[in-house]
Amino acid sequence: MNKSVLVLYYSRGGHTARISRAIADRIVSEGHQCDMMHINEAKAEGLDWSKYDVVALGACVLYGSYHKSVFEFVTEHQAEFAAKPASFFSVNVVARNPEKRVPENNKYLQKFIELSPWKPQDVKVIAGKVDYPSWRWYDRWMIQFIMKMTNGPTDPTSIIDYTDWQDVDVYADHLVTLSK
């Protein structure tokens, strides 16, 4: 049976949007229907939640937290998230370490669950991307400092995509199984 999935996301630099697109493309390639929308677009245009069997929300971490608009969106729509199968995926660079891809070991995912009024029953951690050349000088400097403390890459010319794209496909396949 074909499913209808909504992939919502918040992306700052574009990588979470790219991951969301890969999820949506995979779902469609498997014969299902999928819409993808930035949460700001969803807020401005509104959503017909009844059209979807499953909803996924993805958000990136910057400086150890999610953008406040992610929490505002979840607060405003917690009833809609709770009313149907839903999943949350966290995109963060700390997940470059395999043990940090385990939800219980990822402090950023755990922080979302703690601070969010929506308590997703299905969660995923996806490793993000370091892209020093595209970041503003302040962001680059701050992230280099954090990386130095955590034994990560600090070369200001580094562009390293830690995303396991095959695992993103596995997650997309998983999403359609959430609905009966």
Separation between Cα atoms, residue 153 and residue 26, nearest integer Å? 31
Segments of the chain scoring below 50 in pLDDT = none
Q: Tell me what pLDDT residue 1 has.
A: 78
Q: Tell me what pLDDT residue 25 has.
A: 98
Separation between Cα atoms, residue 130 and residue 61, nearest integer Å? 12
Amino acid at 47: L
Q: Tell me what pLDDT residue 180 has.
A: 77
Place of tokens 């929506």: 118
Global pTM reads 0.94
- Give me 145's structure tokens: 């400092």
